[in-house]
Amino acid sequence: MATLDDIAKMAGVSATTVSRVINNYGSLSEKTKTKVFAAMKELNYQPNSLARSLKGKKTQLIGVILPGVGNPFFGQMVEEIENQLFNKDFRIILCNAGNDAKKERAYLRMLIANRVDGIIAGSHNLNIEEYQKADLPIISFDRYLSENIPIVSSDNYQGGQLAAQALLASGSKKLQIITGRNRPNSPTNDRLNGFKNIIKQHDLQLDLTEIDFSATPNIKSLKIKELLAKKTIDGIFCTDDLTSLLVMRQAKNLNISIPNDLRLVGYDGTNFIQDYHPELTTIMQPISDIVTMMIDLLLKRIDDPECQLEKNYTLPVKLIAGTSTI
């Protein structure tokens, strides 16, 4: 693999000059620039990022820690992050932390060892103390990680409210919430609170079912089936869209008509859902805006590690009306 010295020799100039050309610094004649560029092309030269970074340049690498990219929501988010960062000349190291705190810790260590310029973290694991010690720019999606790590999220409380309003407007009176197992500090809590806040102003039945986030779809379906079979509800709010899909499926199996017998509101509103399941009424998180915001903050911190940022940045959500609520 060609090195800077090889280029220098080939172009008949000094290594310093080549470096000057690459970094566009100092004064240079067009002629030498041309010579050097020619040699670079000729030898298919790529400056060694490792050496550059070691010498103090940025690595242009961002670590992205998420629960997993198989889920359409995070899939879309990663795609968005990747795209936006590419345009700003950064690359991402993808870390699927899953539900595995140990893995997340290992990844964090690794990212530090690799001297990434910053980290975007949106995992579901709690109590990763390492985030506090990590002395590099970090932005979090929707989770509290440590005192000085800004949290970007969409307005979960508002989302819960919108969901409740949609169900109310559709005339539902016997309401049910289906949500992942509730953890302290989980953003889904806010969704519930927003929902309840609207409901409690009316005199309505409201039940809550928790289904572990990591349960398989089959297991989830089973619980949903039990729930629906009782036929005691006419409105459901699922705190994620995928679970909503399961509800729709089970409802169909049980000959429960949506929206006639049952109304349904989901949460997330990914492109995938909008494209392939437009009948589902759902609360759309503005993924693109969230990512723009996270990247913006992250780059600010990278530019100036001391810069003061807010603790929270909350972006508005939108109701996407489908036919699952009249």
Partner DNA sequence: TATAAAATGTCAAACGTTTAACAAAAATAT
Partner DNA sequence: ATATTTTTGTTAAACGTTTGACATTTTATA
**Least distance to its own copies, CB of residue 98, Å:** 8
**Least distance to its own copies, CB of residue 182, Å:** 23
Output 10 or 78, the one with its CB closest to DNA.
Answer: 10
Span near its own copies by CB under 8 A; candidates 32-40, 103-111, 189-197, 290-298: 103-111
206 binds, among its own copies, DNA, none (CB under 5 to 8 A by kind): none
CA distances from 298 to 35, 62, 115, 146, 290 (A): 38, 9, 15, 15, 12
Output 58 or 196, the one with its CB closest to DNA.
Answer: 58
**Least distance to DNA, CB of residue 109, Å:** 13
What is the footprint of its own copies within residues 229-288 (CB under 8 A)? Answer: 242, 245-246, 249, 271-272, 275-276
Q: Is the dihedral of CA 66, 71, 73, 77 positive or negative?
A: positive
CA distances from 301 to 44, 133, 194, 296, 305 (A): 34, 16, 32, 9, 5
Output 218 or 308, the one with its CB closest to its own copies.
Answer: 218
Could you give the 3-state DSSP secondary structure of residue 125? coil
Measured distance CA(40)–CA(163) in Å, rounded: 58
Question: Tokens at residue 148, please?
Answer: 């000085």
- 9, 58, 103, 318: residue in contact with its own copies (rule CB under 8 A): 103
**Least distance to its own copies, CB of residue 101, Å:** 14
For 205: left if phi > 0, alpha if psi spans -120 to 50, otherwise beta; the answer is beta
27 binds, among its own copies, DNA, none (CB under 5 to 8 A by kind): DNA
The C-alpha R_g of the chain, in whole angstroms, comes to: 25
24 binds, among DNA, its own copies, none (CB under 5 to 8 A by kind): none
> Contact at 8 Å (CB) between 152 and 139?
yes
Could you give the 3-state DSSP secondary structure of residue 224? helix
Measured distance CA(219)–CA(230) in Å, rounded: 18
> Contact at 8 Å (CB) between 170 and 263?
yes
**Least distance to its own copies, CB of residue 199, Å:** 29
Q: Which residues contribute to the site for DNA (CB under 7 A)?
A: 1, 3-5, 12-17, 19-20, 22-23, 25-29, 31-33, 45, 47-48, 51-52, 54-57
Q: Is there binding between residue 321 and its own copies (CB under 8 A)?
A: no
Q: Is there binding between residue 44 and its own copies (CB under 8 A)?
A: yes
Question: Which residue from 249, 260, 271, 236 is spatially nearest to 163, judged by alpha carbons?
Answer: 236
109 binds, among its own copies, DNA, none (CB under 5 to 8 A by kind): its own copies
Beta bridge partners of 312: 151
- 4, 15, 69, 315: residue in contact with its own copies (rule CB under 8 A): 69
Output 5 or 210, the one with its CB closest to DNA.
Answer: 5
* 68 Cβ neighbours under 8 A, 6+ residues apart: 74, 96, 97, 98
- 29, 127, 218, 255: residue in contact with its own copies (rule CB under 8 A): 218
C-alpha distance across the termini of the chain, in Å: 64
Q: Is the dihedral of CA 158, 287, 101, 138 positive or negative?
A: negative
121 binds, among DNA, its own copies, none (CB under 5 to 8 A by kind): none
Question: Tokens at residue 158, please?
Answer: 């508002």
Output 73 or 157, the one with its CB closest to its own copies.
Answer: 73
List of residues contacting its own copies (CB under 8 A): 1, 44, 46-51, 53-54, 59, 61, 64, 68-72, 75-76, 78-79, 82-83, 86, 91-96, 103, 107, 109-110, 112-115, 133, 135, 216-218, 242, 245-246, 249, 271-272, 275-276
